Amino acid sequence: MTEHLFLYLVLGVVGIWCLRRVFIRLQLSVAKHPSLRGHAKMSRRFAKLVPYFSYNKHTFFASDMAPNRVASQRAKALVELTNSIEMKYGKTMDYTRSLTECISDVRFTNNYRVPFPYREQLPLALKATPVADESSGTKIKDIDGNWRHDLFASYGVNVFGYDFYKACMREGSQLVEKLGPVLGPYHPLIKDNVERLKEISGLDEVSFHMSGTEAVMQAVRLARYHTGKTHLVRFCGAYHGWWDGVQPGIGNQRKTNDVYTLADLSEKTIRVLSTRNDIACVLINPMQAFHPNSDSPSDATLIVSDRQTNFDKAVYTKWLQKIRNICSERGIVLIFDEVFTGFRLSYQGAQGYFGVKADLVTYGKTLGGGYPIGAVCGLSHLMKRYRDNAPADLSFARGTFNSHPAVIGAMNVFLKRIAEDDIQCIYRNAESVWNKRVQSLNTQLEQENLPLKLSNMHSIISVLYKKPSRYNWMFQFYLRAEGLEPGWIGTGRFIMSLDYSDDDFAEVSEKLIAAAHKMDAAGWWWHDGQTTNKQLKRMFLNDMLSAKFPKLAGLVGNKANPEEDINDQAVSL
């Protein structure tokens, strides 16, 4: 009897343990965002199933079931736009041709400026990679001599204007020119840089790296080293550099099993953090506040008009405070990836902007004063790379070019300059200035009856489209033709430097509105008054299924006037 009772007791304990494990695993599953972005393994499998297909010269202009007259109108407009751009960018086009076969980045960006079914029919003039030889203030000049307002800020490097950074590089070079490229010994300026970064970050120690991606890699490695735990938590849609250890979904070819991708702004995520014992760190890109649980918007995926942003500063501040509290309770390292937001959202980056402290903070881009840089700031006990009682147990991280004198010099000028009163004044007013500017431009767009709306988080802007359409991605080319320069992701994200004056922005607004009118007149925003975004998505899905299963092509698919000649001009494209 006693033996039976003992067996029942053991079985009961094992059963309870198993049920608890199952419950915790279920909590993890339900804490994931329901989209493919929230399921890394599933998204990778799905990506391999997506077939390549290309619209021909006819369906390119009528993939939304537009009537023949509208398709002809679009074809004619594309020829006119192409001719106009070719006249302006002849040297740039020649450079693009010469670079395409020898620089992989050029092939990648040129192919992913638009949704892939449209790329083959897109003229080279529209896909051409910008080649610039001069900058001034808010503008850059290409090798054809065209000056355009910069709408991508060198992917975030340019927070205060190109003249600002050229001065940092020039003055910094003079500070270190006697030492030159001596690596190993530190230039004395490094001490001042470290003290300033400690003050800005509110943390104890600093390590330097050569890129933001490297800084994130080091921060994650240190968190695992000091906690002895295996997994990190990232939020759905967040970007933390190209390292596969923080990007487990599409684009990562390695099986990553030590990353949990959880839903942003979800109490279910809090429950996971409260119950699991294998979480070393929570990695946060504060830019996700602009579009929680969504990827950074890009024209390459703009197949309909359902792009959204949902920035609510008060809501996201409360969310970050919850994350801070649970991390403190559970001994989880909280990492802010401020490679993009650092020195932009405020003098103290997202920590200052949201009023939430992190244990480790990564910086990059603008901190180098115009040069490549990465940095980690952290609490002393987390920055240590060895154990006193186990000298062979290391967390090794080095880099030949870390703390390069030229970078240290430009960084020193940058850090001193942003502490001055004029830059501090810009910081204090930046949020209200950009909110007012975007609001004013939206009012103009509404008055002009254009199907656009701009959304912003601080000085980051995204273009939203109000009318169902499959051709919104064309807008980036009309912007460029009007003298504006978006990044290769197009209208998904305009990164505005804080030195834009009201007059500069008024000129940008004028050019944006002119581009929108030309886009509208060309018929790209034609709509039958009935078709919804959901129906447009279904058209795209049908086209994809027809490409994957050709025998079904007669049963599903988009029959956008395939037998009719759209326009002889279109054939020449």
Residue 572: per-residue pLDDT:
34
Q: Please give the class, per CATH, of domain 133-159+422-531.
A: alpha beta
The list of the chain residues with pLDDT below 50 reads 556-573
pLDDT digits (tens, 9 = 90+) for 84-109: 999 988 898 888 888 888 888 888 88
Residue 562: per-residue pLDDT:
40
Residue 559: per-residue pLDDT:
46
**Cα distances (Å, whole numbers) of residue 253 to 65, 208, 238, 242, 247:** 37, 28, 18, 12, 10
Domain range 162-295+312-385+405-419, CATH architecture: 3-Layer(aba) Sandwich (3.40)
Residue 1: per-residue pLDDT:
59
Residue 15: per-residue pLDDT:
63
- Cα separation, 459 vs 346, in Å, equals 11
Domain boundaries, the chain: 31-129+544-573, 133-159+422-531, 162-295+312-385+405-419
Question: Do 162-295+312-385+405-419 and 133-159+422-531 fall under one CATH topology?
Answer: no
Q: 269 — phi, psi (to 5°)?
A: -65, -40
Residue 14: per-residue pLDDT:
62
What's the DSSP call for residue 522?
A: T
DSSP secondary structure letters along 98-148: HHHTT-HHHHHHHHTSS-GGGTTTS-HHHHPPP-EEEEETTEEEETTS-EE
Q: What is the pTM of this model?
A: 0.92
Judging by DSSP bridges, how do beta strands 374-378 and 360-364 pair with one another?
antiparallel
Pull the structure tokens for residue 200: 């800005």
Gyration radius of the chain's alpha carbons? 26
DSSP secondary structure letters along 148-194: EEESSGGGGT-SS-HHHHHHHHHHHHHHHTTT-S--SSPPTHHHHHH
- Cα separation, 264 vs 310, in Å, equals 12
- Which secondary-structure segment (H or E) carries 314? helix 313-330
pLDDT digits (tens, 9 = 90+) for 176-203: 999 999 998 999 999 999 999 999 999 9
Across all residues in the chain, what is the average pLDDT? 90
**What are the residues facing 284 on neighbouring strands?**
336
